[in-house]
Each structure stands twice: as C-alpha cells, then as structure tokens.
Amino acid sequence: MSDFIEANQTVSNQMACSTCGAILSFKPGTDSLVCGHCGAHNQIAQPPAAPGRFEEISLEDWLAANHDQEEKMEVATVNCNACGAVVTMEPNVSSDKCPFCASNLVIAGGTISRLHRPQYVLPFRIDGNAATSHYRNWIGSLWFAPNDLKQNAGTAKPVTGMYLPYWTFDCTTDTRYTGQRGEWYWETEYYETEEDGKRVTRSRQVRKTRWYHASGMVYNEFDDLLIEATRSLNLEKLRELEPWDLPQLVPYDDKYLSGFRTETYVVDVKSGFGMAKERMVPVIASTIRRDIGGDEQIINQTQSVYHDPTFKHILLPVWISAYRYQGKVYQFIVNARTGEVQGERPWSVIKIVLAILLVLILAFFALLFLSAIAAVTKSMR
C-alpha cells in the first residue's frame, strides 16, 4: 500500500453493502460496518498486534527522502465565512455545506498537496445521539450564560462526525543550560511606627535571596506528543478535548471512515515537529528548575539536542456542529471517545455585572465588620 493518498480521497468515505448495495456506515462503539437499509453487519478484520505497540517513522529518514519533491495532487479548499473554518473539498465541486457549521460554501480556487497516508485511527466510540446529549448537558452547565440559551440549544444543527488529522512525536532531548540558583535567608529589620500616639521601634523578619551561578545538562524523554495537523478548529479548544486514549489506536483502514468525513492535514510533518519542539519547552524548563534546585531559579540560556525523533500520522474522532444565538454562530466539538465537550459560548453581561456588584457589596460589608472589630478591640485596651 502506498504511503500517499490523493487528497480528495479523504473528503467523504462511502462503502456499499455486499448484500443490498446500500451505503455502509461504521457503527460507533463497535468494530463493524452496518447497513442502514438491510441491517447487515460487516466486521472489520484487524491483524493481531500487541496492545500499545505502534510502528513509528524516523523523522530524519523521512525528511532525507525529500518527500516534498514528490508528484503532487490538487485539492480545493474554501474558507467558511460563517465559522472561519478551512474546508477541504473535492476538485471540480462548486458548492457544498461546511461540515463544521453547515453553512453554504462556494468554492473559489484551490491548493496543491500530496498527503501522507494515516497509519492509525482511533474509531468512534459514541454516536451522534450521545454527542448531542453531552452537548445539551454542557450548555446547561455554563456559568453566566443568557437565560434563554438553554432553550435555544435545541436549534443546534445536526452533529457531523469527522476524523481530524494529528501527528504524534517521540524523541529524547539533551539540554545544556546556564542559570542561577536562589537560596532564601532571613534578616531582622527594624522600623519605627506609631502606637497610641507614641513613636516606637519594632522589628520584623525580611526574606532575602542569595544568587549562585548554575549550569548543567538535563535529559528528557517524550512519548506520543500530540500535535494538531488541522487549522479548521480552535487549537485551544481541541487541546481541551484531551486526553485521548491513544493506546486504543488501530491500524488505518478505510472502513472505519465509512459514514464520516475526514479532514486532510494542512500542517505538514516538518512544521508539526516545530510545534512539538515548542510544546517541549515548558517540560524541559521544569526539569532544569528541578536540576538547579534551591528556592528560586532563573534560566539564562538553553541549548537542546533532539535525538532520534519519530512520528506517526493518526486520525482522531470528533462530533462537530454549531448553534445560533442572536444571529451569531457558536461552534462546539465533542470528543467522540469520551464525550468531553468544548466550544464557543455567549456571555450574559447583566449576570456578570450583577456578580461583580455582589462581590463588591460583600467586600464592603466585610471591611465594615473588620473595622468594627478593630475599633472594639482598641477600646478595650
């Protein structure tokens, strides 16, 4: 099987029933394709594999093979004016609906790409009805939401099942650093104040810091660092869908995609590793701080070497839809494995203002109460 796929193969995925010829769809939570017409079940065969053992591709070997110079295929993309998503379309298609918000799309122009075939897929576990139920529960749990939002939640468009492209990266790092270690010590400080109309001298302990030079090397190991290869959805919201049960990945098979849409990646593997390096930075910094020790740490310089980076291209399942509130489109995403919901939401300005006023009122009365206690205590001396 080729490591490459034509970009237009991932736009829609349909397979025919061998019994009646109707379209088969993968049934979430199973390992079977189900015919919506005659009810026939077709189990997806998978080769035996050790759980949690996945084939990784050497990033250095991949880049050295200069895959960027391979023959490229054309794929059309269009920006959705309603939700801002970048939607991958089949060539020669002039119109469609956005899978992210169901708004009408009109194709204008295209891009050129040649795509690496996914190696693994995490199949859908929850179906569209369960995803809608999770969405309604999420709407009902929102703080400072408009009173009529829950009633309007029923206007959400039907959820769309979609596989999103991701890269995972493994590597180890050696990082040299220079910095400073701060150690606290205490000094007695004397000061003058006024008590009962008299000037008196009092003392207090003041914390100070002695700084010492620090340098060294730290080692880190990264496994399955997950990087989004899509730009059609809010990355912050996508990351809040984590964690994903990646040990349950199965080898890629078109059958798992049947009945769902699949987005092709727009972040290539080289750019993805650049993003992975950025996500390694805080982890490496935390290791350096532990290595420096002391009570405070300052990191002045770092230099990391990345050893034997490997990657795999995977597809993760989500349910996507949107709802309208007061003329604005709000998008939401459901993790199709766990039911975790993330999305955009409206805020009630009135509720927020009332909450702030309540806090200020409570703070005012608390201050009055403390002042009264202080006055009574002073009068009893």
Contact 334, 160 (CB under 8 A): no
28 within domain boundaries: yes
User: How many whole angstroms separate alpha carbon 62 and alpha carbon 58?
Assistant: 6
Q: Which of 174, 334, 341, 165 is nearest to 265 (CA)?
A: 165
Please check whether residues 375 and 314 belong to one and the same domain. Answer: no
For residue 189, what pLDDT is reported?
Answer: 92
Averaged pLDDT for residues 212-225: 97
For residue 164, what pLDDT is reported?
Answer: 92
For residue 83, what pLDDT is reported?
Answer: 60
Please check whether residues 232 and 379 belong to one and the same domain. Answer: no
Averaged pLDDT for residues 294-304: 97
Please check whether residues 276 and 370 belong to one and the same domain. Answer: no
Cβ-Cβ contacts under 8 Å for 222 (sequence gap 6 or more): 169, 170, 171, 172, 173, 276, 280, 283
Please check whether residues 11 and 54 belong to one and the same domain. Answer: yes
Instruction: Look up the domain containing 370 and give its range.
Output: 353-381
Please check whether residues 361 and 218 belong to one and the same domain. Answer: no
Please check whether residues 328 and 372 belong to one and the same domain. Answer: no
User: pLDDT (tens digit, 9 = 90+) per residue, 231-257?
Assistant: 888 889 999 999 999 999 999 888 888
For residue 243, say if its preceding peptide bond is cis, omega within 30 degrees of 0: yes
201 within domain boundaries: no
Please check whether residues 143 and 254 belong to one and the same domain. Answer: yes
Please check whether residues 60 and 91 belong to one and the same domain. Answer: yes
User: pLDDT (tens digit, 9 = 90+) per residue, 5-48?
Assistant: 444 333 445 566 666 766 777 778 777 777 766 766 767 776 65
114 within domain boundaries: yes
Please check whether residues 378 and 332 belong to one and the same domain. Answer: no
Q: Is the pLDDT of residue 336 over 50?
A: yes
Averaged pLDDT for residues 93-102: 63
What's the whole-number average pLDDT of the chain? Answer: 80
With cut-offs at 50, 70 and 90, classify the pLDDT of residue 49: low
192 within domain boundaries: no
Q: Is the pLDDT of residue 107 over 80?
A: no
User: How many whole angstroms separate alpha carbon 38 and alpha carbon 97?
Assistant: 28
User: How many whole angstroms separate alpha carbon 258 and alpha carbon 33?
Assistant: 8
Please check whether residues 131 and 245 belong to one and the same domain. Answer: yes
58 within domain boundaries: yes
User: How many whole angstroms separate alpha carbon 47 and alpha carbon 77?
Assistant: 35
Please check whether residues 300 and 361 belong to one and the same domain. Answer: no
375 within domain boundaries: yes
For residue 246, what pLDDT is reported?
Answer: 93
Q: Is the pLDDT of residue 95 over 60?
A: no
34 within domain boundaries: yes
Averaged pLDDT for residues 357-377: 82
**DSSP 3-state of 49:** coil
The token duo for 321 is 């839809």
At 336, which amino acid appears? A
Q: Which of 63, 28, 64, 58 is nearest to 44 (CA)?
A: 28
217 within domain boundaries: yes
With cut-offs at 50, 70 and 90, classify the pLDDT of residue 106: low
Based on the structure, what is the number of domains in the chain?
A: 2
Cβ-Cβ contacts under 8 Å for 263 (sequence gap 6 or more): 10, 88, 162, 163, 164, 165, 230, 232
User: pLDDT (tens digit, 9 = 90+) per residue, 140-179?
Assistant: 777 767 766 666 665 566 788 889 999 999 999 999 999 9
Averaged pLDDT for residues 284-305: 97
Least confident segment among 115-119, 142-146, 189-193, 319-323: 142-146
Please check whether residues 218 and 126 belong to one and the same domain. Answer: yes
Averaged pLDDT for residues 314-334: 85
For residue 30, what pLDDT is reported?
Answer: 76
